[in-house]
Structure 1
Amino acid sequence: MASLQVALKVLNTTFAKQDGAALLQVFLADPNQDDFQALQRNLQSMPFDRITSVVEADRALSNDPRVNELAASALREFLRYVRDYNTPMERGQDTVPARRRRDYKTFDSMTQRVADMYKSQAGDWLSVPIQRLCAALMNLAREIDAASGRDITYVSDAAARLLKILLVTVQPLNATRPGDTSRNPGLRASTAVSVANLLFRTYHGVNSMHLFTSVVQPLWGLPQFLDMISKADAVEYRYWIGRYKLSAGNVQHARELLLMSFNNSIASHPNTRIILIYLVVASLCCGYCPDATLLTRFNLDQQFEPIIKYITQPDGAGLRRHLDEWMVWFAKHGLLIIMKEKMDVLIWGSICRKVALNTDRSAFLEERPDFKVALASIACGLQLSYRDPSFDLDDAEAIVMCLIDQGYVRGGIVHSTNSINRFRMQPVSSMGRTREPAQSSDLYSL
């Protein structure tokens, strides 16, 4: 009984003082420690009803009865977790995976009780504990799925729990206006970003990036609080959101987020190179060529320098050959599809520009309203670039219409003459929809 009384005294003091670090030392104690094992033996020597009565008799932690009730509930689940941790089960059911599943259920219940306390306005002190508990819950879920040979059964369950905690966290943030001092948005924002990053890593690890939407949607009011959290969390958060935007085709927004993430990361950190990979892809899709020195600095010149050369030449056949050679590498990073789709569009735009310059350079550069380019010339350029004589007028028309639709070409097709009227093509260094000036050498800082 002494171990239980000591544990309750420590926990009551922790809740009364709102000491998050001390709470973590108790709730995330190492099961191999003597104190944990002594408390476990003490709890196993008495009925759980007796344990519940002891907890109920000593729970004056706050003037708020609701807080006292939630705290007592969290303590009961913690003591249940300690009592049952890795203990034998009924005959025929006693296996290591079965024990871990029972431990997960109890730990999940304890995390839920702490999250219920965190909902209150006075629960900001639980921000760090809830982050660590969420991480521990997800690690336990991964361990169970790996040991039992299941796919993502418990990982999915843990992700659902974390998503509920995220919604609880961001709700007061979305209702907080800038300059409001009645709350502590910094702690809430830190928790929201930590849980969101954990969910992003989880969904990415199980190849389910389409589930990012369920995490991104509740975070509409979060950007105004990003300067209140640690730089490391903000870098990771912008990286995952940037990857989400890139996969969704919003390359301009993706580039902005990835650029902010890259410029605030440590150059020597291995994750900086990962961020740069996706930043380069997003920049190329927007028509910006990264500096060759930067690519060499991060050992990415073999992958991307030929792509830049093939776009500017333009050489569609060379581009496709290079992507086939590096197919495994791009597929490993989830970039193969977007590279095959977007780089071809840049090749088409470069072909149109070359054809326009060869047709009438002065009229093209002066943007004369009567300037025209024959579709037959575009088709010929496609045949030469891709080494494919099957390109015809219909292909040229479809490609030009695609470029017009995406904003790379400003003009219209005249079917009576099979030409593009008032044709204008942006240079490769500024192909995007925006009209910001080209900064091919000053995009990033080493």
Structure 2
Amino acid sequence: MNKNISSNINLNDYLNQVNDAHYNQDGEAVAALLSFRQPHVMSHRLNAEKPERAVANIIYPPMDEVVLAHLKVILWYRCGKVLEMWQAQCAMVTAVARFMTESKEENWMLPLMNTACLELRLQSISADAQSARTGATKAGELLEKTADCLMACFRVCAADTRASENDTKRWGLLYLVNQFFKIYFKINKLNLCKPMIRAIESLAFKDQYPLSQLITYKYYTGRKAMFDSDFKAANEALSFAFQRCPRRSHKNKRRILIYLLPVKMLIGYIPKKSLLLKYNLKEFMDVVMAVKTGDIRLLNDAFVQYERFFIGAGIYLILEKLKSVAYRNLFKKVFLIKQSHQLDIAVFTQALKWLRMEDIDVDETECLLANMIYEGKIKGYISHVHKKLVVSKKDAFPPIAA
């Protein structure tokens, strides 16, 4: 990063710094000089209303379009125009894509692309909220347009199929994909993630990306797999993200656990209380205990108590699936108490009634048991004539598999 950027720099000095960094192909310096989050943005001396002549005299095309768009972003920021600022950032990203297209044999500008795309996504959040408030657009509409704008950079990177892995622009794909994930999850269009995932998984060097990018990627692909009910894949991806996430990143590890915990329980693992305490996940305390002991009453109470939290995290419907695991554990307790391989269905009904399911009858209990057998949670069959559950003498309640 260029350490000489000043919060009081004048336009000519600023443009000369950009030109020098461009000439030296210093991607990090160019990214810093064209970032909205650097001190030069605070300089009133950059606020020329018509900077085109100064830019044309110093900056060579096609970089000139990128710089002009960035100066407009600064100008609209000074004017407090959120929507115009977002539009200027869109123009900047489009100009970056054009610049990358014309620089066919180079990838040193990837830091610039990363910065421009990140800042476009961040600005789009405020712009979308303001536009929706005024009724100019629907909520999420500008976020979708942001994703369309980012797609120009994605296509440029994906199209670079040069044999040399060192020079390919495909090194920029994962950062872009993570930006897409953040948008698509926010507007609830997870189906649009599929082509992004295919693009990354097809790369021979996909495991060589920076760890921070890989952790983000695994976090989102794990959540995607969870919503697709592919709990084995979700467990692998989210476990990678949690285990590799630095210990100091306590908030991020907690965020990952919110999705990893339901997945773990759905495939038969019960989290330890110490883990929940360490990451302040009290919302899961009763859920874990209920699933472990088969206490359907406690599980329902936990859903009611923390409904807002679970819905806000988008995991309420996933947690509902844990009822099946809880039923399985309850029925296993009945089996262990009775110590018989032929059990009256009425016994299971009695256990459910004890858990405040007063309206349940034998037929409904039989249906629950049939589902357990179909899902492989119980080995056995139902004797409808004798109203009995007949279970296998070996592994009547096999371990839950993903």
Q: Over alpha carbons, which structure has the higher Rg? A: 1
Decide which of 254, 265, 268 is 1:287's aligned counterpart.
268
Task: Flag structure 2 segments of 5+ consecutive residues without an equivalent.
Answer: 1-9
In the TM superposition, residue 207 of structure 1 has moved relative to its aligned partner by 4.7
Equivalent in the alignment of 1:342? 321
For normalisation by structure 2, the TM-score amounts to 0.79
In the TM superposition, residue 288 of structure 1 has moved relative to its aligned partner by 0.5
Equivalent in the alignment of 1:78? 67
Once the two structures are superposed, residues 125-171 of structure 1 have per-residue CA deviations (whole angstroms, 9 ceiling, x without a partner) of 22222111111222333343344434333321111222443354345
Decide which of 250, 260, 263 is 2:230's aligned counterpart.
250
Do residues 267 (structure 1) and 228 (structure 2) align?
no
Equivalent in the alignment of 2:99? 114
Do residues 23 (structure 1) and 33 (structure 2) align?
no
Tell me if the contact between 1:41 and 1:83 (Cα under 8 Å) persists in the aligned partners. Answer: no
In the TM superposition, residue 352 of structure 1 has moved relative to its aligned partner by 2.3
Secondary structure at 2:321's aligned position in 1?
helix
Equivalent in the alignment of 1:327? 307
Decide which of 113, 120, 141 is 2:124's aligned counterpart.
141
Once the two structures are superposed, residues 324-357 of structure 1 have per-residue CA deviations (whole angstroms, 9 ceiling, x without a partner) of 1122222222222211x22210121112212322
Q: Write out aligned runs for 1:121-270 (5 A).
A: 122-148=105-131, 149=133, 150=137, 151-170=139-158, 182-184=164-166, 188-189=170-171, 191-209=172-190, 211-213=192-194, 215-222=196-203, 225-269=205-249, 270=251
Equivalent in the alignment of 2:3? none
- AA matched with 2:329: S
Once the two structures are superposed, residues 2-37 of structure 1 have per-residue CA deviations (whole angstroms, 9 ceiling, x without a partner) of x99988876666555432123324433744437744
Do residues 33 (structure 1) and 43 (structure 2) align?
yes
In the aligned structure 2, how far is the partner of 1:107 from the partner of 1:231?
A: 28
Do residues 387 (structure 1) and 356 (structure 2) align?
yes
In the TM superposition, residue 202 of structure 1 has moved relative to its aligned partner by 2.5
Secondary structure at 2:107's aligned position in 1?
helix
Equivalent in the alignment of 1:438? none
**Residue 171 to residue 376, structure 1, CA distance change in 2 (3 Å):** farther
How many percent of aligned residue pairs carry the same amino acid? 20
Tell me if the contact between 1:21 and 1:129 (Cα under 8 Å) persists in the aligned partners. Answer: yes
**Residue 263 to residue 7, structure 1, CA distance change in 2 (3 Å):** closer
Once the two structures are superposed, residues 362-411 of structure 1 have per-residue CA deviations (whole angstroms, 9 ceiling, x without a partner) of xxxxxxxxx44443333333333x32233223322322232233321233
Secondary structure at 1:412's aligned position in 2?
strand
Once the two structures are superposed, residues 219-263 of structure 1 have per-residue CA deviations (whole angstroms, 9 ceiling, x without a partner) of 3325x6343222222222211111111222222221221111111
In the aligned structure 2, how far is the partner of 1:413 from the partner of 1:231?
A: 51
